[in-house]
Amino acid sequence: MTTTTVAVQSATTHEEALLAGLPELVAWLRSQAAEIENQKRLPAHVIERLHAVGLFKLTLPETHGGLGLTPDKAWKIIFDVARGNASAAWLISLCAANVVMLTRLSDRARSELFDGNRVVVSALTGAVPRNLVALPVEGGITLSGAWGYASGIDAANWVGVLVPLGNPARTFFALVPKSSFAIDHDSWNVLGMRGTGSKDVVLPETFIPDHRLTDWALLQQGGKHPDCTNTERLDAYPINALFAASILAPSLGVAHAIVDEFEAFMIRRLHNANPGDRDPHAMSYLAQARAAVTLACRALITEAEAPLAAMGNEGPTLRMKAEMRVRIVMIARSAMEACQQLFSAAGGQILPTGAPFERLLRDFHAMYSHVLLQPEPISENCGRLQLGLDPLPNTRV
């Protein structure tokens, strides 16, 4: 039996064990919700359990001790985790997307990154830096600056940031040890998704060697670092669609939790109300919302599978990527509309602080507000491509 065969069998066994233990884990995460909210981060014991069951290794290649799951399989697991806790699912989902990109870095960077049992990278690729200074020096660059929204920084061991270099400027993805950053633990005070602990971070002047710098445009186009000899099934998977889907997957899991909570609320109301006081409209809203969210989950899985088939040929075209991005945001919109109808039907039930509805409302709206799920800018680019025009400059497709 070859080493590769043993690794695949081990990953399969681990996946089966993870799936078998998911119901218990989801119930446990739900019981931790109040503490996660209060600490405004995932507490250490929660992070430890997520590591123990392998949730930070969903898309990590089997050669590095991961499960090697494709995104469609990873998102199905994320759906369930989010029904237990939105913030935990958010960080796990972002990690799953980040790892796919990180396998395309230089061999030396990957060796440093994957040398150990844990790989959690807080990728600040959407955060606007402050006071950024990047200077070329022999063998690399010196970098300093400040960033917000460092999701999962407490659990991370590496941080990825975007750095403009040269004239004309080219953007590079820089991999920096988490230990180099100062974390402002008092900076994360938000309405929803409190448990992600997406705090502000500051990097004093730090040396970044060349092997930890990768052309960002190359990564977005499905390319790899010139010194990357790694070959994985997901090498050409479209990065920006993957990032958008990693935001949508936990959002849809929370949408499922909203439907579940509304159903429980309706059952309680049926038991406490006279038959003549039953609200047939609320029953219709429940049925429609569950159908809409179920269809949205199925649609995301279909979208996740599509690039896998396209990669067998010449890979997804720019237009295919843009159209996939639009479909992802429209899936998000359908789930939002269904959940909003339930929030309206629940009325005052969502108002008490600490009630499940109240927390789900805040978390879901915070997730949906993410820039990668906003239809208008993404749809404009797609429309331009469909009309034979170039995409807008400096936009992600």
User: Is there a single domain that holds both residue 50 and residue 153?
Assistant: no
Which is it for the CA torsion 365, 181, 205, 105, positive or negative? negative
The values of phi and psi at residue 328, to 5°, are -60, -45
Q: How many domains does the chain have?
A: 3
224 Cβ contact partners less than 8 Å away, ≥ 6 residues apart = 104, 105, 218, 230, 235
Q: What is the model's pLDDT at position 8? A: 46
Q: How far is it, in rounded angstroms, from Cα 214 to Cα 109?
A: 10
Q: Is 229 a member of any domain?
A: no
User: Is there a single domain that holds both residue 289 and residue 174?
Assistant: no
pLDDT single digits (tens) 243-265: 999 999 999 999 999 999 999 98
383 Cβ contact partners less than 8 Å away, ≥ 6 residues apart = none
Contact, 80 vs 183, CB < 8 A? no
Q: What is the model's pLDDT at position 222? A: 84
Q: What is the model's pLDDT at position 160? A: 97
138 Cβ contact partners less than 8 Å away, ≥ 6 residues apart = none
Domain end (from 114, 142, 166): 114
* Domain that residue 20 falls in: 3-114
Helix, strand or coil, per DSSP, at residue 171:
strand
Q: Write the CATH number for 268.
A: 1.20.140.10
Q: Structure pTM?
A: 0.92
Q: What is the model's pLDDT at position 42? A: 96
First to last CA, the chain: 43
Cis peptide bond N-terminal to 307, omega within 30: no
Q: Which residues of the chain register pLDDT less than 50?
A: 1-8
Contact, 173 vs 214, CB < 8 A? yes
